């Protein structure tokens, strides 16, 4: 069965469909030595090799892999950095025939759970708003938090061109100026958690992501370390975005 080339390449970990489409438009991708056009379809077994960014790749897939990484403060989520800062990709295990794709991002001052996979379709679905994937964070803030301010954050605030809000806000023994909350939301916009608090005059001084969908950050996992998920865990993640996982993929 023929499939669009951006779907095939995404599934094998060459990036998101959107990024692959951009590279196709810039003529950066060739299949079997020939340039491809947007929307072109192929039979998987007809693809002998792929030229991408002046490198040759052969579609000999790894098994499906997902890891949870506990990102420390100070690391960035880019593959390379012109300022020679440490990136999260420096800490990941080597893959033989595909690439790690980060599912969502965390800014340099945010720590906690990052998911990585080598299966592009899974990454695409986990990041797409259609699948309503909940993210949870622990937040330490400074300032006076009234009940009225909490209601504003849950009701919604216009940030940019859209409305942002927390699904839930839970307080933790807050008797001091620095207060801890657990918050959850369904979107992953850039700096959204910090911007929501800033919009009511409250400064965030610590932010930790503790869950992404069904994946949760283990309490024993130290910053800068990762765990590889087993088949049962992977099955749960696939099921959460309506994907089927076959035994040959594990």
Give the domain CATH number at 48.
3.10.290.10
Residues 140 and 202 in one domain: yes
pLDDT at 174: 66
Residues 23 and 81 in one domain: no
Residues 178 and 70 in one domain: no
Within 10 angstroms of residue 138's Cβ, the number of other Cβ atoms is: 18
Q: Is 147 exposed, middle or buried (0-12, 13-18, 19+ CB in 10 A)?
A: exposed
Residues 183 and 197 in one domain: yes
Residues 156 and 34 in one domain: no
Residues 138 and 238 in one domain: no
CA-to-CA distance for 235 and 50, rounded, in angstroms? 29
Contact 171, 181 (CB under 8 A): yes
pLDDT at 248: 44
Residues 100 and 78 in one domain: yes
pLDDT along the chain (250 residues), means of 10: 84 81 91 89 81 76 85 92 89 83 93 92 88 95 88 90 91 77 90 93 94 97 96 93 68
At 116, which CATH number? Answer: 3.30.2350.10
Task: Tell me which of 46, 53, 107, 168 is the catalytic residue.
Answer: 107
pLDDT at 2: 85
Split into its structural domains, the chain has a count of: 3
Residues 205 and 110 in one domain: no
pLDDT at 246: 57
Residues 113 and 231 in one domain: yes
Residue 41 structural domain? 2-57
Residues 30 and 148 in one domain: no
CA-to-CA distance for 177 and 188, rounded, in angstroms? 28
Write the CB contacts of 81 (distance below 8 Å, at least 6 apart in sequence): 87
Q: Let me know if 53 is a catalytic residue.
A: no
Strands (E) located in 22-147: 29-31, 34-35, 41-43, 50-52, 55-57, 66-71, 101-103, 111-117, 135-142
Residues 163 and 197 in one domain: yes
pLDDT at 131: 93
Residues 202 and 225 in one domain: no
CA-to-CA distance for 36 and 39, rounded, in angstroms? 9
Q: What is the DSSP string of 149-184?
A: HHHHHHH-EEETTEEE--SEEEEES--SSEEEEEEE
């Amino acid at each position: 069965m023929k499939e669009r080339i951006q779907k095939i390449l995404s599934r094998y970990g060459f990036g998101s469909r959107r990024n692959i489409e951009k590279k196709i438009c810039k003529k950066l991708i060739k299949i079997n030595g020939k340039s491809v056009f947007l929307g072109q379809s192929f039979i998987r077994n007809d693809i002998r090799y792929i030229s991408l960014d002046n490198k040759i790749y052969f579609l000999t897939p790894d098994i499906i892999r997902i890891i949870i990484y506990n990102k420390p403060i100070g690391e960035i989520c880019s593959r390379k950095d012109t300022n020679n800062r440490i990136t999260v990709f420096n800490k990941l295990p080597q893959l033989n025939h595909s690439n790690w794709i980060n599912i969502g991002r965390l800014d340099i001052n945010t720590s906690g759970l990052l998911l990585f996979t080598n299966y592009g379709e899974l990454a695409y679905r986990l990041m797409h708003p259609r699948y309503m994937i909940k993210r949870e964070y622990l937040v330490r803030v400074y300032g006076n938090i009234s009940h009225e301010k909490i209601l504003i954050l849950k009701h919604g605030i216009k940030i940019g061109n859209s409305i942002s809000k927390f699904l839930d806000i839970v307080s933790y023994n807050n008797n001091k100026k620095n207060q801890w909350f657990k918050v959850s939301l369904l979107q992953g916009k850039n700096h959204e958690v910090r911007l929501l608090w800033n919009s009511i005059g409250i400064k965030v001084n610590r932010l930790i992501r503790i869950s992404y969908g069904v994946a949760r950050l283990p309490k024993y996992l130290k910053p800068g370390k990762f765990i590889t998920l087993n088949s049962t865990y992977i099955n749960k993640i696939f099921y959460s975005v309506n994907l089927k996982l076959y035994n040959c993929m594990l």
